[in-house]
Amino acid sequence: MLDFFSIATKGGLVLWSKAYGPAQSSPINNLIQDILIEERSSTQIYYKDNYAIKWTFVNDLDLIFIAVYPKSLGLTYIDTLLQAASTQFSDRYGDRILRKSGGIPQLKDWGVQFEALLQTIEDQDALSKKTKQPRKFEQTVGYSNSLAYAKAKPEDIKDTSKPALVDEDEFLRNIEMLKKKSASPRIGMRKGRGAKSPAASPVIGSDDSKKKTKEGRKWDGKISAKDAKSLDYSNSDAADVVNADHLVDQSKLGQHGKDGTYNVADLEASDEDESYSDEESEEEYTKISARSLQAKKPAASSGLMSFFKNMTGQKEMTAESLEPIMSKMKEHLINKNVAADIAQHLCDSVAKGLVGQTLGSFKSVQAHVKQSMETALKRILTPKTSVDLLRDIAQAQAEKRPYTIVFIGVNGVGKSTNLSKTAFWLLQNNLKVLIAACDTFRSGAVEQLRVHARNLKALEQNAVVDLYEKGYGKDSASIAKEAISSAKLTGHDVVLIDTAGRMQDNDPLMRALAKLVTVNNPDKIIFVGEALVGNEAVDQLTKFNAALKDYSGLANPRHIDGMILTKFDTIDDKVGAALSMTYTTGQPILFVGTGQTYTDLKNMKVNNNNSYCPGRHYTADSNRTYTMNLLNNNDALSLAKLRDVLIRLEDTIIFALIERAQFALNDCTYQPGVYKYDNGSQGSFLEYFLHEMEKVHARVRRYTSPDEYPFTSPLPEPMLPTLDFPPTLHPNNINVNKDIMERYLQDIVPKICAPGDDLNYGSSATRDTECLQALSKRIHYGKFIAESKFMDPTQQKTYIRLIQNKDRDAIMELLTNRTVEAALLRRLRRKALIYGSDITETGEVVTKEGEVEGSTATAAAGATTSRKIQADVVVDLYERFVIPLTKEVEVEYLLQRLDGWQIPEDSKN
């Protein structure tokens, strides 16, 4: 009955798996993409193709247990199996997993134990079905519990005992039986009754606030010639009378990059209506009413702060202790304009990830809950596909065709206005724009676009922006097609297609929209929505996407590719609508509209330096850089800068591994004495090549920088003047390049390269050099991290005491942040999945030959992909090699940190 069972770390490393039949697809990959990565793990069951998937977390060990079975079978014992398997596995191997130095535990006997456990639970389930008879209410457990509750004293009501999940004797008998068996595990599936899919949760609607009605114009039965002329907007040749001053706000103009491209301004703090202070957020974010606490503890105060203090002594978080926090958090999210069902799913997912985690002081509880929520929100808001429209347009230009964008949405959200803002941005990049008037339904729609085209021409002297119109009552799909053909003939670069506003329940208009998309197959479908809506945004996006799918008649229908949020300047809680829309579609927010001028179009970027909890007003940092100026001591010891550099080095390492993986192993390049060298070296070809490369690098002073470490010696003196680097690091003699070289040749290259010899010795040595230098730089950056943490005045006394005691383990524990490491591995897996796959023109990831789908993980057994490198290999490289060796560098550096250093008086114990 069971098809597949897997035990994996949250970082994606599969510890153990068992398949009971051939897999027709990769359901676990879909689970990772659709549920776990998208923070939807609060869902109890997940259906994909012909499979049903259930899972459970063991958060204190960072493990996930996954069971896959046919969805047509009603397997009632899966929850019991997951709970029993996770309990027994944790008891048996938990200590070894927690000891990081122990490596991956050997699971030799687990297969037999799991088979016995599965056999026991299946037998118990079959027996319970055979012996199950209809009972009277007096014989039910509910009746017994009710009767016992009524008779029991108050202090006797609570019963914490739990029944055993499996029969102990039967389980032991099954283990002995399976150990004696020599036959292979059973393969195949059995028949069973189908299980009903859970009903879709209803979307909670929101009450629309009453809008002010526009005051009508008083005509008094007649109109003067002057008024008639001022109200006549039909003259398309009136560009000479346009007053351009009010059309743009010079203070809100974007900037031109070094390559000449014009970028719209980023959303800044000045755009927000109020600032955010941490003190105020604690009160608002964690406040809870006295009434909700009164039932649990009468003497508790009215704030959640008191509740947290009561939890300080607890060793781990439980579902019961998190319930009031998450209830208040859900209410907070809804108040900040997040759709109700999305707020519920998000809180459930975060709570599920916290249950079982060990916590310390009050501050750690507070930080853990908030950090988990912020991490989840950042993950949702981070674009999963490209948002670089200019690059996509350049690609279309190379193909000698116009790039087409369709703007869709409900009535009155500002589609035409934001289309014109987008046109202004494109014109600033010297692109020729054709606007297609395909709103043939609303009176005045064509005239509105005609005015916008006239204004845009008046703003830019040599601007090429034209309007393609065919009047009203015509077929919008045909007009769009004619406009695209016309743009190709006239040399326009971009076609912006305006469509009629329509409510999501208007079936005829939704069919017409699906027809327009199907006939013309635009490059981008942009949904324009208001930032004012919460629950309504979910309903709009869901039904627009459903209409594009249901009415297209295509096997692979189109869907919404991105969104523009309008009226962003009219609300205080800006992240709510953005969160609801991106969670619903999984697509990025391209721009936000913040006013009435053509410059009021801005970027909303996820900023890693600011919190995204709704209510916290954020700034998109357009000046963020991934480089570090080591000539600036403050720069070199900034944890934020260090983090950015390490993130950039992740990309460097992944791409270097991908480049090396394209060549065979070429083992002869690693063997000494194979070739004779002009310098008399007796080493391997790689050692010779690396030395020659490092001699060139040394001449241009590469190794005078404190973050660069050579693998070979001796090296020549620099030909360039030496830079005066400040003494950022304490003098030390730590260089682990020998360990890096050994691990790289023994563990990494054999995993990423095909065996054999393809004669590309120079190419493979070049890529080996790039990989080794990137790994060396990444690992030795641990010195900067250690120095930064040591200089933290709140931690320096602790570090000094531990260093004086030579307490290596305690130093390692103080340096370790498991939450950050887990987030790093998740980010790394995502990068490896994307970078290691072929990407189509529409941004889809090619996972198999001829198959296109969203990027997924490769945890399922037997999954064959066309990836250039497996994500598991990259994650395993970091988890077992890069992170541990970096921390070893940090510890060794700190153990030498007090040598010759005068301890400040205020830091002495």
C-alpha 236, offset from chain centre = 47
Tokens of 353: 């990830």
The span from the CA of 256 to the CA of 157, in Å, is: 71
- The 63-70 sheet, strands edge to edge: 14-19, 4-9, 63-70, 51-58, 46-48
Which one, of 660, 900, 638, lies nearest residue 781 by Cα? 638
Over the Cα atoms of the chain, what is R_g? 32
Q: Omega into 714 within 30° of 0, i.e. cis? A: yes
CA 206, 207, 212, 216 dihedral sign is: positive
Strands 14-19 and 255-256, sheet pairing: unpaired
Whether 407 contacts 590, CB under 8 Å = no
Amino acid at 807: D
Cα-based distances in Å from 309 to 280, 314, 351, 372, 812 = 19, 10, 19, 19, 28
Which one, of 412, 410, 433, lies nearest residue 422 by Cα? 433
The answer for residues whose C-beta is within 8 angstroms of residue 901's C-beta and 6 or more apart is 730
Secondary structure of 138-161 as H, E, C letters: HHCHHHHHHHHHHHCCHHHCCCCC
Cα-based distances in Å from 867 to 12, 29, 160, 306, 565 = 16, 14, 50, 51, 35
Amino acid at 167: D
Secondary structure of 404-459 as H, E, C letters: EEEEECCCCCCHHHHHHHHHHHHHHCCCCEEEEEECCCCCCHHHHHHHHHHHHHHH
CA 9, 13, 16, 18 dihedral sign is: positive
Other CB atoms within 10 A of residue 568 CB: 25
Whether 741 contacts 775, CB under 8 Å = no
Residue with token string 């808001």: 381
Amino acid at 851: E
φ and ψ at 82, to 5 degrees? -65, -45
Amino acid at 230: S
Residues carrying an active site annotation = 643, 778, 789, 817, 821, 886, 890
Whether 522 contacts 436, CB under 8 Å = no
The span from the CA of 742 to the CA of 736, in Å, is: 10
The span from the CA of 686 to the CA of 826, in Å, is: 33
